[in-house]
Structure 1
Amino acid sequence: MRFSAIVSGSKLPNWILKIKESSTNGKWHEVVSHYHEIKKAGVQTVDVSVFPPILKAWSFLSHRHGKSLHACLIKQGLDSFTSIGNSIMGFYIRCGDFDIAVDVFNSMRRSRDSVSWNILIHGHLDNGALVAGLWWFTNARVAGFEPNISTMVLVIQACRILGTKHDGLILHGYVIKSGFWAISSVQNSLLSMYVDADMECASELFDEMHEKDVISWSVMIGGYLQWGEPQVGLQMFRKMVMAPGIEPDGVVMVSVLKACASSRDVCTGKWVHGLVIHRGFDCDLFVENSLIDMYSKCKDAGSAFKVFNEISQRNNVSWNSMLSGFVLNENYSEAQSLISSMRKERVEIDEVTLVNILQICKYFVHPFHCKSIHCVMIRRGSEANELVLSALIDAYAKCYLIEIAWEVFARMRRRDVVSWSTMISGFAHCGKPDEAIAVYQEMDRDLVKPNVITIINLLEACSVTAELKRSKWAHGVAIRQGFASEVTVGTAVVDMYSKCGEILASRKAFDQLPLKNIVTWSAMIAAYGMNGLAHEALALFAEMKRRGLKPNPVTTLSVLAACSHGGLVEEGLSLFKSMVQELELEPGFEHYSCMVDMLGRAGKLDTAIEVIKTMPDNLKNGASIWGSLLSSCRSYGLTELGKEAISRVLELEPLNSAGYLVASSMYAADGLWDDAARIRVLAKEKGVKVVAGYSLVHIDNKACRFVAGDGSHPRSDEIFSMAQQLHDCIRIDEKKEGNTWPAVIECLT
């Protein structure tokens, strides 16, 4: 580039002024246009201040033209000016040419200043080259140059991201010595660094800060949430609200709502909601979406839906948050309606939407809809998303399309621990424990480290096989992987051994658990009941209460089931009464069903009918209750009483073979052959498939299935002979027992 003259007249200063104004406003095309006007006029300038904005403009518009200008500046010897050299460095850093920027910096040995160092350090750190940026920062300190505030903040952030706590401590000392400590942005950056590394140090630093702004409080609240202490974060928020001169902003509100969601504290969440409205943040979409999430996770889908309806301009996050809320709270019908609304509003579905829809398909067992969603995934290219694929595999498996689930799994390019765990769970759910165990073994060969969910799914598969040898192997896997002390895994081990009939192993695993929750106690009580040890179940239930644990509906159901199978009618009635009066638990459908079953087994059918009459109307349409009553009517030959139960069972479960078989058997036992034949014809007309019941018998440490009349096993004669002896030994104790049911009826009504 060649200039014909050196001009200091009136026109050049105007061009220079326009270039600087356009640069200040970010109008890079105007900067270049004014520069071209100078060139066309053949004007040459010695004012070096005109070139930095031009270089900055070229960094946004044309790398090639910027390099050309660099060459021109070298020819004219202007690159020796510090401001020009710094601008050239900035140009190459913005273009991503770090090596050339470093070359320019090295060529400025005599002219470089603090700005030169800051440009180089800031450029590396701002573009993610953290290690290199920290290295240049160290060199700058050795050379005696000081970073500016923005560079200092980036250096602290780099230490935080890299997790170098030791370097962070050294940096903290430098901040104090160099006088940066008084600057709030530097203080808050240090606070963020400590929050990620050590919450105790962060708390000490926070207490030492004389001036805390809203960012300081926000960092601390988010830190406690990050470290799994949401309640402490909420206490911090209460202090913040009381602090003078501090006004919470939308970011703080979002963090606090996340803390409420994490701790399931809906009361505090409602108080925060009131603050949101009072402070005017109810127009902030980010805050409103967080409110939906908070109410959903606090099991208040109704309030979440009210917030959703009040949002004037919803985005995809709003729709997906509400959809996830309905699915989380098992409001699947409402979720279906919301999906219809999304379709009407032409809301674009994404991966989160697809995962939620698959959850709905899984719940309603809709195999056709699963295939439809799979087609949508293929068209959208969502098959690359591992989370969506795992949800698809899970949905196919829960809809009993395990072969298709396996095909999807086999085609996955990258299988993570979630997809492996889902496949193991799918095979176990579909009654294919051998395949589930084989998948785990293949996962182990591929060196994929299992997580807690994987181990629980493996234990579940072994419990389905009911083979002790495999169950011990799975327990060993849990121990070797370091998960045996986890409450959820330990509870699964207790359940697994109980299904193998090894009640002593169940109790040993229960006793060895360092921490037990209510689910663990319930599992052990259920294990005793399942293995016919009703008195032991009651004793453990009493011990649990003595230790101050309040039984939940699942616990009481486990004890009732133990009483039912153990024939402890009086104890069962007493427990049911205490459940209402002492424990203040509202009996559910399963509790009433268990009571009817218990009374029916004991021959107290009149009392069982009374129980059904006292049930709330919304619970009376349960097929299992009428099925229990029908089975008892068959056992005791009460055909007339059983007729009503037959009509209810066949109405509620028209495709379940069990009701037809029991009804036909009852009529046949009473000599009503025409009625028995009519039931069988009705089943045939409705296309009901009869599923044969089977027994599991352990032979040589292997569980074998035996169906009535099946002689295919080589030792079937021995098995059926043993079964006959057991039947001959069964006697029903028909001694009269005091009727305590009226007291139970009274406490319910």
Structure 2
Amino acid sequence: MRFPIVPSGTNLFSLYPKIKESSSSGRWKEVLSHYKEIKEAGIQLIDHEIFSHILKACLALSFRTGKSVHASVIKQGFESFTSVGNSIMNFYAKSGRLASSVGVFNCMKTKDSVSWNIILHGHLDQGAFVEGLDLFMQARAVGFEPNISTLVLLIHTYRNIRAFTDGQIFHGYLIQSGLWSPSSVQNSLLHMYTDISMDYAEKLFDEMYEKDVISWSVMIKGYVHSDEIMFALESFKQMVSEFGIEADGQTMVSVLKGCANLGDIRIGKSIHGYVFLRGLNYDLFVGNTLVDFYCKCNDIKSAVTAFNEMPHKNIVSWNSMLSGFVHNEKYLQALTLFDSMGESEVDADEVTLVNLLLICKVLGDFRQCKLIHSRVIQRGFQSNELAMNSLIDAYAKCNQINLSWRLFCQIKRPDIVTWSTMISGFTHCGMPDEAIAIYREMRLSLQSPNMVTLLNLLEACTLSAEIRRSKWAHGIAVRMSLASNVVVGTAILDMYSKCGAIEMSRNAFDQISMKNIVSWSAIIAAYGLNGFPHHALSLFSEMKVHGLEPNPITTLSILSACCHGGLVEEGVSIFKEVAKKHGDELKLEHYSCLVDLLARAGKVDDALEIIKSIIPVGMKAGASAWGAVLSACRNYENRELSEAALSEVLELEPSSSAGYLLASNTYAVGGSWKDASGMRWLMKERCVNVVAGYSLVHASNKSYTFTAGDKYHPLSHIFGPVIEQLHSCMKMDVGATSL
């Protein structure tokens, strides 16, 4: 072999070991520097093995240089060496140029196991799963023996594409080929089986001769994912206590997530103690999970402690704490934390901004919402679906529906979440016609509704209170096979209830396959709302026969039914029964409803006793309770108590017209016209707007609203005389009764 003439000062053979040494230490710049020195000297490389080191450096630093190295290989005729072809193929595959890698692979005259492993990794790593699996079948046909990393990658591929039947066949191939014994292969198979069935996973787990921390962690994670939390905790106990295997960060993340799903703060705190003893609290992922656990268990104080003790925090840490404050209604603390993020030079991401929008939505803070919108634009999140949907929702909840609509129109291809959010926004702003029109437009765009869309549509029809529309929406639920779903079925019965169609409400209730306490509460409320208190009581008893205990909503529904039906003894009895069993669950609205029940029946002293002595410490009677007392004073002409009740109502709700009007009417009934007009004058002086009540009348499959004294309604000429006639008949009935 003829060697090229080496210029003086350049020792080719001294550069080879330097390149190899620099490569083994990862000093890629030195590798390319030595390669450049050889090229500038005009020397041709004679050792083909050196190319693997140079291509590794190119992979780390310069794709362009790597392409030039490939050209040099072809020019010097080294492409025939299989090892060189493998290095070039690996360079292209790991650079994301899969097509170039495949081109090199196809041109290789001789392929070894390394060649097949590289091309398989290239496909499977870059998501070309089907092509990768086809290549594996070709490789098997030529006697290819995959390495352990390829076997693991193939198992992950079957799991990722959920080809579980093929995955089980591959499991059989591993056993037949004697390739299934490595622990990494068994753990990968175990991971796949946790996605299929925990029964299969348990069977494989029991067959494994050696179980390491990864094996146990996979099983614990599988149990948590399958919502079998007690099995997960028992497995953790076995792993640590019986087998003496020390848990790692991944194990603790799964265990803590299980505790969060279980909502067991006591067990979670003991797990936290174990984390501390093992020094795993320094693990970033464990720390984030601890914060999330305490937030989900509503222990904000412990969440803050865990957050402050984290030595290192990332954006997930801050967002977890921020989300915890928001979902636990600690809005001021959330805003303070956001300020701290800025001071710590942590950039807010879309999740941060969405949490802040949740605060704006709850507080109705339009100004803050606009500021966050500007931040979304500054950060370039306009294409982020989560951020844009949250903005549309927040503006709607701030009653800025025009801005929501403007944002919606800017989205070229709204997804189902965006459509649903817009429907919900119109409904929230009292625009059911527009909400229903948006739904129809969505269907014209060939977008299929999901359950959330349907629930928003049902809510719009509930607000519309038109029986024809309600039947149409019910039909959609039937066609989607969701009418028997407990959430949808409950929404349907509530919708019919608001239309006054109580029989249809009952039919919708009967169609629910698995009724829960919410559906029972809804049907009880429906009968109470529509003037059937005895039916409501009967359903309340029937619910308890089915083994369901009333929750606060159920209690409020039945108390309201008793209140409007005048069933004083029954209402008081139910209140006492619930207070005895679940007294700590009773809220101010329950006591206010009891006050209203007694006041309506003329038991004003008893109602006052509830306000003064029965309502627990920490609660204060609101305007609704004192308003009920004031109303009773008007009916039963108790002037002294009326003054005290009026003072409380006006103090609690100085900007509401209801208290002023009630007081004025009370004075008028007692003949105190001067005081009555004075109350009207006070309301005008304080710029309190009167919110007029209205009546809803169904005619020709449409609903019409009429306010008192409205002579300009298009149908007033039809309904006006009818209403006057009904009024006259009512007066005659009252007169006949008094006689």
**Which residue number in structure 2 is paired with residue 150 of structure 1?**
149
Q: 1:600 to 1:294 in 2, by over 3 A?
A: same
Partner Cα distance (2:197, 2:585) in 1: 45
Q: In the alignment, which residue of structure 2 is the partner of 1:21? A: 21
2:192 corresponding residue in structure 1: 193
Partner amino acid, structure 2, of 1:82: T
**1-side partners of 2:331 and 2:598: how far apart?**
35
Measured in 2, the distance between the counterparts of 1:406 and 1:720 equals 42
Q: Within the alignment, does 1:490 sit opposite 2:489 as a pair?
A: yes
Matched with 2:381 is: 382
Distance (Å, rounded) in 2 between the aligned partners of 1:115 and 1:382: 44
Aligned to 1:722: 726
- Taking the TM superposition and a 5 Å limit, the aligned residue runs for 1:371-520 are 371-520=370-519
Q: Give the aligned partner of residue 546 of structure 2.
A: 547
Please give the secondary structure, in 1, of the residue aligned with 2:348. Answer: coil
Alpha-carbon distance, 1:234 to partner: 3.3
Structure 1 CA distance, aligned partners of 2:97 and 2:543?
68
- Do the aligned partners of 2:10 and 2:41 also contact (CA within 8 Å) in 1? no
SS at match of 2:618: helix
Partner of 1:172: 171
The secondary structure found in structure 2 opposite 1:382 is: coil
- How many Å separate the matches in 2 of 1:727 and 1:187? 86
Partner of 1:36: 36
Secondary structure of the 2:697 match is strand
**Conserved in 1, the CA contact under 8 Å of 2:264 and 2:297?**
yes
Q: What is the match of residue 641 of structure 1? A: 641
Q: Which amino acid aligns with 1:721?
A: Q
Give the Cα separation in 2 of the matches to 1:336 and 1:145: 60
Shift in alpha-carbon separation, 1:727–1:583, aligned structure 2, 3 A? farther
- How many residues align? The count is 730
Is the CA contact 1:466–1:499 (under 8 Å) kept in the aligned structure 2? yes
Q: Write the distance in 1 (CA, Å) between the matches of 2:734 and 2:266.
A: 55
Q: Deviations over 1:278-309 (max 9, x none)?
A: 22112223212211211222233333233223
For residue 141 of structure 1, report the CA deviation from its aligned partner.
0.7
Q: 1:81 is matched with which residue?
A: 81
Alignment correspondent of 2:255: 256
The whole-number CA distance in structure 2 between the counterparts of 1:677 and 1:689 is: 16
Counterpart residue type for residue 129 of structure 1: A
Task: Tell me which residue corresponds to 1:602.
Answer: 601
* CA distance 1:374–1:54, shift in 2 (3 Å): closer
Deviation digits for residues 422-471 of structure 1 (CA, Å, limit 9, x no counterpart):
22222222221111111111112122222222111111111112221111
Is 1:564–1:594's contact at 8 Å kept on the other side of the alignment? yes
Q: Secondary structure at the match of 2:386?
A: helix
| Contact 1:6/1:45 (8 A) holds in 2 | no
The match for 2:618 is: 618
CA contact (8 A) 2:193 2:201 kept: yes
Cα distance in 1 for partners of 2:118, 2:376 equals 46
Q: Which stretch has the larger CA shift, 721-730 or 28-37? A: 721-730
Look up the match of 1:743: none
The answer to whether the 8 Å contact 1:579/1:585 transfers is no
Structure 2 residue 240 is the aligned partner of structure 1 residue 236: no
CA distance in 2, matches of 1:634, 1:336: 46
CA shift for structure 1 position 729? 5.6
1:657 to 1:342, Cα distance in 2 relative to 1, 3 A: farther
Contact 1:494–1:506, Cα closer than 8 Å, also in 2:
yes
Q: CA deviation at 1:259?
A: 2.1
* Secondary structure, aligned partner of 1:695: strand
Q: CA deviation at 1:523?
A: 0.7
Greater CA drift, 595-604 or 581-590? 581-590
Q: Cα deviation per residue 1:108-128 (whole Å; 9 max; x = unaligned)?
A: 33x322112212222222233
Supply the AA of the counterpart residue of 1:123. G
- Normalised by the size of structure 1, how large is the TM-score? 0.92
Shifted more, 445-454 versus 484-493: the winner is 445-454
**SS state of the match for residue 564, structure 1?**
helix
User: In the alignment, residue 570 of structure 1 is paired with which amino acid?
Assistant: E
Contact 1:6 1:44 (C-alpha < 8 Å) held by counterparts: no
1:345-381 Cα deviation digits (max 9, x unpaired) = 4543222222222222222222232223223322332
- Give, in whole Å, the separation in 1 of the partners of 2:733 and 2:281: 71
Distance 1:331 1:65, change over 3 A: closer
Q: How does 1:732-747 map to 2 (within 5 A)?
A: none
Write the mapping of 1:516-531 to structure 2, written as runs, cut at 5 A: 516-531=515-530
Moved more, 210-219 or 560-569: 210-219
CA deviation after TM superposition for structure 1 residue 10, in Å:
12
User: Does the C-alpha gap of structure 1 residues 463 and 69 become closer, same or farther in structure 2, counting only changes over 3 Å?
Assistant: closer
Offset of residue 596 of structure 1: 0.9
Cα displacement (A) at 1:478: 0.9
Q: Deviations over 1:202-240 (max 9, x none)?
A: 232222212111112222222233344444433433333
Helix, strand or coil: the match of 1:616? coil
Q: TM-score, normalised by structure 2?
A: 0.93
The residue correspondences of 1:51-66 to structure 2 (distance < 5 A) are 51-66=51-66
Q: Is the 8 A contact 1:579 1:586 kept in 2?
A: no
Between 496-505 and 598-607, report the one with greater CA deviation.
496-505
Q: By how many angstroms is 1:585 displaced?
A: 4.5
Displacement of 1:71 in angstroms is 3.7
Q: Which residue of 1 aligns with 2:267?
A: 268
Does structure 1 retain, via aligned residues, the 8 Å contact 2:664–2:680?
Answer: yes
Residue 181 of structure 2 is matched in structure 1 by 182
Q: CA deviation at 1:14?
A: 3.5
Contact 2:6-2:12 within 8 A present in 1 as well: no
Q: Check conservation: 2:89, 2:105, Cα contact below 8 A.
A: yes
User: 1:374, 1:481 → 2: CA distance?
Assistant: 36
Kept in 2: contact 1:530–1:562 (CA 8 A): yes
Secondary structure of residue in 2 paired with 1:381: coil
Which consecutive unaligned segments of at least 5 residues does structure 2 have? none
Which letter maps to 1:666? T
Alignment of 1:584-603 (within 5 A): 584-603=583-602
Distance 1:252 1:672, change over 3 A: same
Question: Structure 1 residues 727, 499: CA separation in 2 closer, same or farther (over 3 Å shift)?
Answer: farther
Looking at structure 2, the residues matched to 356 and 229 of structure 1 have their Cα atoms a distance apart, in angstroms, of 30
State how far apart, in whole Å, the 2-side matches of 1:723 and 1:367 are. Answer: 45
Partner of 2:537: 538
Asked if the contact 1:390/1:422 (under 8 Å) is kept, the reply is yes
SS at match of 1:330: coil
Q: Which residue of 2 aligns with 1:290?
A: 289
1:80 deviation in Å?
2.5
* Aligned counterparts of 2:551 and 2:734: Cα–Cα separation in 1: 33
For the structure 1 residues 52 and 370, does the alpha-carbon distance in structure 2 shift closer, same or farther, using more than 3 Å as the test? closer
Q: Could you say which residue in structure 2 is the equivalent of 1:105?
A: 105
Look up the match of 1:659. 659
Q: Deviations over 1:21-77 (max 9, x none)?
A: 111122122112223344556666643322221232233334444343334334443
Seen in structure 2, the aligned counterparts of structure 1 residues 728 and 466 have a Cα distance that, compared at 3 Å, is farther
Paired position in structure 2 for 1:746: none
- Residue equivalent to 2:324: 325
The DSSP-based 3-state class of the residue aligned with 2:531 is coil
TM alignment of 1:643-722, pairs within 5 A: 643-711=643-711, 712=713, 713=716, 714-722=718-726
Name the stretch that deviates more: 237-246 or 684-693.
237-246
The answer to whether the Cα contact below 8 Å between 1:393 and 1:405 also exists between their aligned partners in 2 is yes
**Quick check: 1:3–1:42 contact (8 Å CA) kept in 2?**
no
Q: Which one-letter code corresponds to 1:718 in the other structure?
A: V
Deviations 1:616-648 (A, max 9, x none): 343215221112222222222223212122222
| Aligned partners of 2:483 and 2:511 also within 8 Å | no
Q: Which moved more, 1:641-650 or 1:303-312?
A: 303-312
Displacement of 1:261 after TM fit?
2.1
Offset of 1:707 from its aligned partner?
A: 1.2
Q: Is the 8 A contact 1:295 1:304 kept in 2?
A: yes
| Residue of structure 2 equivalent to 1:745 | none
